[in-house]
Structure 1
Amino acid sequence: MAEDDLVLDRLRKIRAELDAARERDHEILVRLSGIESGLTRLEKAGAGNREPAKDGQDGAACLEKESSSGWLGTPEDGQLFDRATQQWGVDAQRMMAVGECGEFLTLFGRESQGRLEPEAMIDEIADVTIMMAQMARIYGPEQVADRIQYKLDRMRRKLDQQRAGVAGASSSTS
């Protein structure tokens, strides 16, 4: 009987490793797809053109469809992001995103030391969120929305697995 338990335990570990490998493979393929799409968009944006999104939609329609969760802003926000990118360029917007992330990290360090008012952190979170939504617009709102959903689902699975593991551990000790 103990030998059967060892075999079952080993099979469960192998299955978990296989699932993890599949998840990594999927992540790699999605990242490659996003990189290719982002490069194409950047090339076209550099040439002053806007690549139509999937199914012939323009970027605003794509943003509206994919942002029902609110992660990527409203269609009006998308138009504003496009104006900023057209006026200042993709490179400048990327550098602005880097700068906002740097400011956030600096404030985050100060907050952990107790030297920061919450309002300042809220402002930086807003700045970073806006810039990340703009980066999503540049690199492909559909792909970013898909990755957000994928990562949220993965977090949900991990939390559920941990809860099941804790429940299983407490029931096995009874």
Structure 2
Amino acid sequence: MRQCPHGEPMKQTDLSAIYQATLQKWGEEAQFDQAIEECAELIAGLKHYKRRKVDAEAVIQELADVTLMVGQLTWMFGEEKVQQAVAAKLDKLRRLLADDAAL
């Protein structure tokens, strides 16, 4: 569960309210663009980390931004649908791992 600034877990209703307010203030298109930008910054941060140009904290900050945007997009597209897709992907990964273990 996500944490609020004071350390206690954020309630799903709090997150939903934030996501709704964000969508109302900036709109869907801007949220898509923001998600793309945050993912690009994470990609760049990871490349810099591999070359030892930034420390782990820089990557953590980019991960936090992407995590927030993934939450926003999940809320926008439907949490249940996303959870179902994640479950299917995990099942596929388990099968791949099981196949590798059989070698």
Distance (whole Å) between structure 1 residues aligned to residue 64 and residue 92 of structure 2: 25
Number of aligned residue pairs: 93
Q: How big is the shift at 1:108?
A: 1.0
In structure 1, the gaps of 5 or more residues are: 1-72, 166-174
Q: 2:100 maps to what in 1?
A: 162
CA-atom RMSD in angstroms: 1.3
Among residues 101, 115, 125, which one is paired with 2:63 in the alignment?
Answer: 125
Q: 1:85 maps to what in 2?
A: 23
Counterpart code for 1:108: L
Q: Deviations 1:122-156 (Å, cap 9, x if unpaired)?
A: 11111101101111111121111111111111111
**2:93 equivalent to 1:151:** no
Please identify the structure whose Cα radius of gyration is greater: 1
User: Following TM superposition, where does structure 1 have runs of at least 4 consecutive aligned residues deviating by more than 3 angstroms?
Assistant: none
Distance (whole Å) between structure 2 residues aligned to residue 123 and residue 95 of structure 1: 19
Among residues 56, 79, 83, which one is paired with 1:141 in the alignment?
Answer: 79
Q: 1:170 maps to what in 2?
A: none
Q: 2:5 maps to what in 1?
A: none
Identity score, percent: 31
Q: 1:6 maps to what in 2?
A: none
Distance (whole Å) between structure 2 residues aligned to residue 118 and residue 151 of structure 1: 28
Among residues 70, 74, 80, which one is paired with 2:12 in the alignment?
Answer: 74
TM-score normalised by the chain length of structure 1: 0.51
In structure 2, the gaps of 5 or more residues are: 1-10
Alignment map for 1:10-49 (pairs within 5 Å) = none
TM-score normalised by the chain length of structure 2: 0.83
Distance (whole Å) between structure 2 residues aligned to residue 96 and residue 143 of structure 1: 22
Distance (whole Å) between structure 2 residues aligned to residue 146 and residue 75 of structure 1: 21
Q: Deviations 1:18-76 (Å, cap 9, x if unpaired)?
A: xxxxxxxxxxxxxxxxxxxxxxxxxxxxxxxxxxxxxxxxxxxxxxxxxxxxxxx8232
Counterpart code for 2:45: L
Higher relative contact order, structure no. (Cα contacts within 8 Å, ≥ 6 residues apart)? 1
Distance (whole Å) between structure 1 residues aligned to residue 60 and residue 84 of structure 2: 26
**2:46 equivalent to 1:108:** yes
